Every structure is written in structure tokens, then in C-alpha cells.
């Protein structure tokens, strides 16, 4: 099943992934609104990335009372139907990877849906640090 992976050794912390993400989905450049969260040390020997792992039987899907988070068959990309989202934030709390956020302006959750298969971040990452990893079904 496809999901985004990050090779932190290659990541230079340029945040282009965040910029293209918020540009596409929010029409503004805003790292906080992107579906990727990044941190780096003062000495940038390490970076860390929070991004949705598209868990099988995803806990966010299970906890959503509005059935706004959708994962057919409990496998693959978890998508959000914004028309159903009530902004309860249960999914934000439930996500073990801190990869769902809440937009206070729209009162909606937001998360990575792999841009429908060809993520903007993967296309633009200058060091190919972020990429779609296709896990073979067992």
C-alpha cells in the first residue's frame, strides 16, 4: 500500500514539501497548513517529519464519529470527506503519528491523501528525500 516515506539523511530542511502542499490545498504558502510537519535541531544533523502513514485499519477512521475519514476495506490511502467532517478533532488526538491537524479557520481536519497518487512534495523535493513507498500486500 502506498505511503509517504522520508529519508531524513537526505532531507535538508528546505520545507519545499510544506510549501507546495499548502499552495495546492490552501492557496497560500503556510507550513502550518501543510500536511507535513517538520522539525530540525539548531545544528541540523537531524530532521524529523510527521506525515500520514496511511495505517491499515487506521485508528483515525475508527474514531471518526461522522464517517468523514474513509479507507475502503481498511487498506490504503485514508481520505477526508470535508463535507462530512464536523471538526470534532477526535482524529487529531487519536493519530499515533501526529499527522492529522485541525484548521481553526475552516473548522476542519486535514491530512495527507497522497494528492490522489502523485504527491506534489515528491515531485518537488530537491533531494528525493520524501517519496512514495509502495508496500507490497502480504
Minimum gap (Å) between residue 120 Cβ and other proteins? 9
Nearer of residues 39 and 96 to other proteins, judged by Cβ: 39
Instruction: Please give the residues from 34 up to 93 whose contact with other proteins meets the rule CB under 8 A.
Output: 39-45
Within 97-136, which residues bind other proteins (CB under 8 A)? 124, 126-127
CA separation (Å) from 117 to 18, 46, 63, 78, 120? 17, 28, 25, 12, 10
Beta strand residue intervals within 41-126, DSSP E: 47-51, 69-70, 79-80, 101-103, 108-110
Nearer to other proteins, 43 or 137 (CB): 43
**96 touches other proteins (CB under 8 A):** no
The residue from 3, 4, 6, 33 that contacts other proteins (CB under 8 A) is 33
Contact between residue 129 and residue 20 where contact means Cβ atoms under 8 Å apart: no
Amino acid at each position: 500500500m502506498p505511503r509517504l516515506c522520508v529519508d531524513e539523511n537526505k532531507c535538508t530542511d528546505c520545507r519545499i514539501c510544506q510549501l507546495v502542499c499548502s499552495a495546492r490545498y490552501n492557496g497560500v504558502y503556510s507550513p502550518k497548513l501543510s500536511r507535513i510537519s517538520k522539525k530540525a535541531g539548531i545544528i541540523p544533523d537531524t530532521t524529523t517529519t510527521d506525515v500520514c502513514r496511511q495505517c491499515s485499519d487506521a485508528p483515525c477512521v475508527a474514531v471518526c464519529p461522522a464517517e468523514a475519514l474513509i479507507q475502503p476495506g481498511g487498506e490504503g490511502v485514508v481520505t477526508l470527506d470535508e463535507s462530512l467532517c464536523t471538526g470534532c478533532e477526535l482524529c487529531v488526538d487519536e493519530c499515533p503519528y501526529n499527522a492529522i491537524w485541525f484548521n481553526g479557520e475552516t473548522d476542519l481536519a486535514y491530512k495527507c491523501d497522497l494528492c490522489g497518487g502523485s504527491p506534489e512534495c515528491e515531485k518537488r523535493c530537491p533531494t528525493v528525500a520524501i517519496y512514495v513507498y509502495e508496500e507490497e500486500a502480504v
